[in-house]
Amino acid sequence: MHTLTGKRVAKFARDFGFAVSEDKQFELYVAANYLYPYLRDDVDKIERSVHGGGSDEGIDIAAIVVNGQLVFEPSEIEELISEQASNTARVIFIQAKTSESYDAKLISKFLHGIESVTKYAINPQSIALPAALVDLAALIDKIAENGDKFQETRIPCEVFYVTTSGHDGADARKELQVTEAVHRINELGVYSEPFELKTHGHDALAAKLKERHGPQNIRFEFTKRQTIPATERVSEAYIGLLSGTEALKLLTDETGAIRPGIFDDNVRLDLGAHNTVNMRITRTLESEEREQFPFLNNGLTIIASSLRGAGDKFFISGYQIVNGGQTSHQLVRWAASRRVRENPELLSDLWIPVKVVSSEDASVRTSVAIATNLQTAIGSTDIQASSQTAKDVEEYFTQTGADGLRYLRQVQHAALDFPRTRVVTTPELNGQSPRRSSANPSERSVHPRNSKPRIPSCGVAIQSRRITTPPGSSTGWIDTSLAIPTPQP
């Protein structure tokens, strides 16, 4: 294994508690980085995404993504697509090898595994498939049988063969056995064309790691702009109009998926296509009023750690969209529609108000995030949720394990992947909506009611309040009243 990559993998395994072989550690590491937008360092999901083993047919990692969410059961797909008429799906296959070279035979085996899973999904009687991959095929089948509810006629598919090599493996991709395998999968007619194999070495893997800190060196053109005078802590700032085509470069990657991490500092996640405000945005985009968009929409506020410009061309890194999250998601949905794909000038003719602020000072970026959201009709608890303390609390709860709690920091439309009885919100943490105690034996006091607040590793004062836990749980009532600072007007 490449030396630096090996050190990163070892640290990752220590941090996440993966006491497994080096090969398995590498598979988990690749999964955590390549699927980061969907896994978000959730240990259980990372492990479930890795299929490596004696009967994996060369498929070490696989992910089925529907409407931006990772799914593991056909019922999850049914639930997600029932909420809207137009949906998105994506299938991701990865083979991860610690080798510093590319092996055409192993690549061919990997592609044969994809072919087998796909054939089984089309017709289970046509081929024998290892039990470990049958569930994966069932998910692909569920998407295929509901094809009328998805935007794409064929299923978008990404395929990666990841190594620790110092080059990109172009020669291996040209090997006859590899090109023939790719052709056979294309002939099945299940995945979007062109079906491509991507061979990655340690540089590409390192780039995926950097994306955890926000997109890096994304190029866009900003022709209609006005400079905002810089200050001691703000290196550059601009306000102006960005075309829909250029805005999309900031919002999505080359596959059309939302770039990871760009909404982490936004007080709200995607509220869904059927949210009243979002429906109004969509109606504007789909109508002749589209040309009035700059006057009808507040646009986007983007804060970045780095911004470099040369004329009208800019390169931006480590950025967050702190205001305009709903506009962003509706724009991405609209851009993926058949009408826009067939008429790309609709996107290039759209103008979106944009403010871009660049600062290396984290406190400035936080101030901008809070100030821009204070100007919108959102509650004080939403503002509280954007503070660093709230983020620390969210991380703290995430580490409490399967029997612990989860803090719903951001208002969201998507269904929770954790029992609602074990999820607390900012108002509940503020004591505005206390949970009732119960005589249920599964509620067990583990601390006296008047015990002093505990201070977890995130440094946030927590006071005791009763939460129901399942029988046999190691956790009784759990501290949940958090000292999250309330923003001052």
Convert the pLDDT of each residue in 55-91 to its tens digit.
667 899 999 999 888 999 999 999 999 877 778 899 9
Amino acid at the residue 357: V
Q: Which pLDDT does position 439 carry in this prediction? A: 37
Q: Is the pLDDT of residue 103 over 80?
A: yes
**Mean pLDDT of all residues in 234-254:** 94
Helix or strand or coil: residue 378? coil
Question: Among 134, 87, 135, 93, which Cα is nearest to 114's?
Answer: 93
Let me know how many helices (H) and strands (E) the chain has, helices first: 20, 15
Q: Where are the domains of the chain?
A: 3-212, 218-375
Q: Which pLDDT does position 267 carry in this prediction? A: 63
**Mean pLDDT of all residues in 219-231:** 94
- C-alpha to C-alpha distance for 328 and 300, rounded to whole angstroms: 8
Specify whether the CB–CB gap between 3 and 206 falls below 8 A: no
How many C-beta neighbours within 10 Å does residue 258 have?
Answer: 16
The radius of gyration computed from the CA coordinates of the chain, to the nearest angstrom, equals: 24
Give the mean pLDDT of the chain.
82
Q: Which pLDDT does position 315 carry in this prediction? A: 94
365 backbone dihedrals φ, ψ, rounded to 5°: -65, -40
Specify whether the CB–CB gap between 135 and 71 falls below 8 A: no
Q: Is the pLDDT of residue 115 over 90?
A: yes
Specify whether the CB–CB gap between 263 and 301 falls below 8 A: no
Q: Which pLDDT does position 269 carry in this prediction? A: 64
Token pair belonging to 206: 């390192």
Question: Among 355, 358, 288, which Cα is nearest to 327's?
Answer: 355
Q: Is the pLDDT of residue 295 over 90?
A: yes
Per the listing, tokens 């959730």 go with: 42
204 backbone dihedrals φ, ψ, rounded to 5°: -65, -35
Q: Which pLDDT does position 54 carry in this prediction? A: 62
**Mean pLDDT of all residues in 240-248:** 97
- Residue 418 vs residues 87, 151, 359, 398: alpha-carbon distances, Å: 23, 28, 36, 11
3-212 classified as CATH 1.10.1060:
no
**Taking every pair of C-alpha atoms in the chain, what is the biggest distance, in angstroms?**
73
Helix or strand or coil: residue 432? coil
423 backbone dihedrals φ, ψ, rounded to 5°: -120, 130
Q: Is the pLDDT of residue 473 over 90?
A: no
User: Using one digit for the tens of pLDDT, what is the confidence trace for 364-413?
Assistant: 877 887 777 664 455 667 767 777 788 888 888 888 877 788 888 876 65
- C-alpha to C-alpha distance for 190 and 415, rounded to whole angstroms: 28
